[in-house]
């Protein structure tokens, strides 16, 4: 939505509309599905080779990204921090981005990239004396520790919280940064992550095998007919 009308949001990392990511993934899946399905039904070697080559490329890309992310953890951490901070700046500019950040903070019980003070990057939550926002020196409601007794979400629970001393934050908001929360989440769920990666890899390898087998059979039949 908003990001499509201003591509600098993507190129400048000023915020990423989740809808754009969904659109890109959908287009890739549709293209691969179309090529594989029509290629198999019509025995079209060109479409099958495209399907096979694309899956091989995606598989190699996944492996390369995983290896590079492991080798350059500090660089990845810095890029994630920069990306998260830039998205904090654009929090109120895009409702999809806002919902994504809120979900991330609520699920991981975190606030900001490194901590609640990161919300100073946003003009609405900034503590500067020039700010006229009612949300000044606060945090989004998704940073608040939920009260089991409240059935209705209090969207104003984070107002003025950072005007208080940090010793009072623990009882009202999450104080851990989302980068630290995500780093802590990975070791706890390493077997799940590894299992998902292996399952996806096996499906891709199986798809490549089937495509190559079908291509070989079609070429063999055509060669036989030629004689």
* pLDDT tens profile 190-208: 888 889 989 999 999 999 9
DSSP 8-state code for residue 128: -
State residue 190's pLDDT score: 82
- The model's pLDDT over 53-102, given as tens digits with 9 standing for 90+, comes to 999 999 999 999 888 888 888 888 888 888 888 888 888 887 878 888 99
Q: How many helices (H) and strands (E) does the chain have?
A: 7, 0
Mean pLDDT (the chain, rounded): 85
- Angle at CA 11, nearest 5°, toward 95 and 93? 20
Q: From CA 77, how far away is CA 183, in angstroms rounded?
A: 9
Q: Is the per-residue pLDDT at 1 higher than 50?
A: no
What pLDDT digit, counting tens, does each position of 206-224 carry? Answer: 999 999 999 999 888 888 8
Q: How far apart are CA 221 and CA 225, in angstroms?
A: 6
Q: What is the pLDDT of residue 66?
A: 85
Q: What is the pTM of this model?
A: 0.64
**Phi and psi of 150, rounded to 5°?**
-90, 120
Question: Could you say which DSSP state residue 196 is in?
Answer: H
CA distance 103 to 60: 31
Q: Is 43 helix (H, G, I), strand (E, B) or coil?
A: coil
For residues 136 and 127, is the Cβ–Cβ distance under 8 A? yes
| Burial profile 184-213: b = 16 or more Cβ within 10 angstroms, e = fewer | eeeeeeeeeeeeeeeeeeeeeeebbeebee
Q: Is the pLDDT of residue 5 over 60?
A: no
Give per-residue pLDDT as tens, 129-141. 677 888 899 999 9
């Amino acid at each position: 939505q908003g990001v499509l009308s201003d591509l600098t949001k993507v190129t400048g990392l000023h915020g990423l509309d989740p809808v754009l990511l969904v659109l890109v993934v959908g287009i890739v899946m549709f293209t691969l599905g179309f090529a594989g399905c029509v290629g198999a039904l019509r025995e079209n070697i060109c479409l099958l080779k495209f399907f096979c080559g694309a899956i091989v490329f995606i598989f190699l890309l996944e492996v390369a990204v995983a290896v590079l992310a492991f080798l350059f953890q500090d660089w990845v951490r810095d890029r994630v921090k920069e990306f998260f901070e830039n998205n904090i700046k654009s929090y109120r500019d895009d409702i999809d981005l806002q919902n994504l950040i809120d979900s991330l903070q609520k699920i991981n019980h975190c606030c900001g990239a490194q901590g609640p003070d990161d919300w100073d990057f946003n003009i609405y939550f900034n503590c500067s004396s020039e700010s006229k926002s009612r949300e000044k020196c606060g945090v989004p409601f998704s940073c608040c520790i939920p009260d089991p007794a409240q059935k209705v979400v209090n969207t104003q629970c984070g107002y003025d919280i950072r005007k208080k001393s940090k010793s009072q934050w623990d009882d009202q908001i999450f104080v851990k940064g989302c980068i630290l929360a995500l780093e802590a989440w990975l070791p706890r769920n390493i077997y799940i992550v590894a299992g998902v990666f292996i399952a996806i890899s096996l499906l891709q390898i199986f798809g490549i095998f089937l495509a190559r087998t079908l291509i070989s059979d079609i070429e063999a039949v055509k060669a036989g007919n030629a004689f």
